[in-house]
Amino acid sequence: MKKILVPTDFSEGAYHALQYAVELAKEYGASIDVVNAFYMPPSGSTILVDITDVLKKSADEAMAKLRAKVEASAMHGEVDMRFETHYGSVEQTIAYHVKHKGVDAVVMGTQGAGGITEKWLGTNASSAAKNTEVPLWVIPAGKDFRMPRKILCATDLKMFRDEEPLEYVRQLANKFHSEVKFLHVRQDDSEKPEEKACKEWADERFPVRKPEFVFVHDDDIEDGIEDAVEDEKPDLLVVVRREYGFFKNLFHSSVTRQVVNSADLPILVLKGG
């Protein structure tokens, strides 16, 4: 992790995510780009009014205030930090910085009062979770940085065919000397043939501290994750975004109920196949 992008809407939740990102950056020796995405979405109106300059001026003024706040805080000088505004949606802004600015991780805050947010990850974070190509850390409002000593990684078992996300989890565990548990929610109570192979595969890649597997029987995968988080009390929940199945649907904004209503913890979203 060399450069972290922190999108901000100048809210307290976004500021808290920035504080979290600073702690991550210190651990990795990374720099931080703080960016505000501003744009006027299509309204369908026949009246053509371009207020881009007005939006940019407002964004620049708010960013200057944020920069002054950071410079007056304990964060100042701890990591290399840059501030900018960018025209476009949050999703477009993240994609631009990943492609052109060398960003290899994104840290976003949410405004959820409890749990992962009332709308799973929140509108902007949900959009990022569906589309971002690099690891996305979603930080609930008010959650202070804590070393992820205990990592719970939700899996549909197919993730064990994906080297990249598993390697990221392995490196993360090595970095923070973490205990890793893989969670699989069974929608029937029978053991699947691939479970043994997955355990053996994971043992080979985590030779120092072998991961455990947690199997939960629940017809509703969301409820199963919720129960496991409550029981295991991890410092970090990892999910792997897929292009199909439940882990794709999980990040659609139509999933409006709180997925893990007791899970006041950061979530790391990794891209899978």
pLDDT digits over 204-241, tens only? 888 778 888 888 888 877 778 878 888 999 999 998 87
> What is the total residue count of the chain?
273
Rounded-to-integer distance, Cα 36 and Cα 67, Å: 12
State the pLDDT at residue 28: 95
Residue 18: band (very low, low, confident or very high) from pLDDT cuts 50, 70, 90: very high
d(CA 27, CA 83): 21
**Residue scoring higher pLDDT (66 or 246):** 66
The domains of the chain, with CATH numbers, are 3-139 (3.40.50.620), 150-271 (3.40.50.620)
Tell me the helix, strand and coil percentages in the chain, rounded to 5.
Answer: 40, 20, 40
End-to-end C-alpha distance for the chain, whole angstroms: 21
76 residue type, one letter: H
Averaged pLDDT, 60-82? 94
Residue range 191-213, pLDDT digits in tens: 776 778 788 888 888 877 888 88
Q: Per-residue pLDDT averaged across 246-256, rounded?
A: 42
Q: Nearest 5°: phi and psi at 154? A: -75, 130
> pLDDT for 108-161, tens place per residue?
887 644 443 333 345 566 667 667 889 999 888 777 788 999 999 988 776 667
More confident residue, 271 or 56: 56
Taking residues 236-253, report their average pLDDT.
62
This prediction's pTM: 0.84
pLDDT at 254: 33
